[in-house]
Amino acid sequence: MRPGLLLVNLGSPASPRTADVKSYLREFLSDQNVVEMPRAVWQPLLRGIILPTRSWRSATFYRDIWTAAGSPLTVNSERLRDRVQALLPDWDVRLAMTYGEPHIATTLKAMAKAGCERPVLLPLFPQFTQSTDQGIIDQADSANVPYTLVHHFYDHPGYQRALAAKLWASYQQHDYDAVIFSYHSIPTAMVRHGDPYQRECEATTKAVCALLPDLPTDKVVTAYQSKFGPMPWLKPYLRNELLQLVELGKRNVLVITPSFVCDCLETLEEDNVQNYQAFRASGGDRFELVPCLNADPDFAASLAELATQTREKVGTHG
């Protein structure tokens, strides 16, 4: 039997055309792990108001970041998969997406058919939250294939070291007034109900800073981005934090996005375009984004190590 590893990322539209973006958003925003509102209330809003107005606008953003090879998130995830596969030559390493293709359940079934016994399922989300991970778990369970879940990896030393190395390489390029750790936000209601995400984000910031003793801690800020809808989400919001820093005279900022391991719409469009423009328009001077880990060799090595450790632990404990 061959060891198996299934990496899972969020997914992307099949193309930047409005119809494909609308189909992707319909699947994504219909997941009750993402939007907890009762279906009878949410679906009419989604289909009658949100999709007709949001799809074309999102499609313009996707067109701006799309590459000749396809969606940046998909392309970078595939490159990461290939690099991990090269580090684990005896394994069957595959990639699936929570929304869009390749499907999680279909891929798990194919791996089982190919002889993978209890593959390791590794969501590419370092910090666990219901809004990303539970949908993966639900789909994996529907395959009726035994698997071993990597619950999170924010505390894995290899991930932390790779993140710290990226941050320090960027930080040394200029004299920055502030370093912002920006994580994808989630509804505060999820945290109140026990979701560990905020705690794990704060622990990530603390651990990375501990690896960089020459990074002044008084420059470090933790913020959250990509809020969706009218309900309260984790704060401070990145956009507001950027504007406040300018008001305080801190006009040179470096932003790192630890919850996004691969470049995607949120890093390439929301941060590098929209947040950059808002920062500059308010009087900011330098706005730099630390590159995502993507297929970074050290990050790939940390995932390979994590998969091996997880399989060994299962082999030891049943």
Q: Is the peptide bond before 3 cis (omega within 30 degrees of 0)?
A: no
Residues forming beta bridges with residue 158, ordered by sequence position: none
The pair phi, psi for residue 65, each rounded to 5°, is: -100, -10
Q: How many CA atoms lie within 13 A of 104 on its CB side?
A: 27
Contact residues for 313 (Cβ-Cβ < 8 A; gap 6+): none
Contact residues for 302 (Cβ-Cβ < 8 A; gap 6+): 153, 156, 157, 158, 159, 161, 162
The annotation status of 184 as a binding-site residue, yes or no, is yes
- Residue owning tokens 């990226």: 166
Planar angle of CA 133, 136, 139, nearest 5 degrees: 150
* Whole-angstrom distance, CA of residue 157 vs CA of residue 144: 32
Burial class (CB within 10 angstroms; exposed 0-12, middle 13-18, buried 19+) of 250? middle
The pair phi, psi for residue 269, each rounded to 5°, is: -105, -55
The annotation status of 27 as a binding-site residue, yes or no, is no
* Chain-centroid distance, C-alpha 121: 16
* Whole-angstrom distance, CA of residue 82 vs CA of residue 235: 36
- Residue owning tokens 């936000």: 185
CA Rg value for the chain: 20
Name the token pair of 310: 């997880």
Q: Residues at the annotated binding site?
A: 184, 266
Q: Residues at the annotated binding site for Fe(2+)?
A: 184, 266
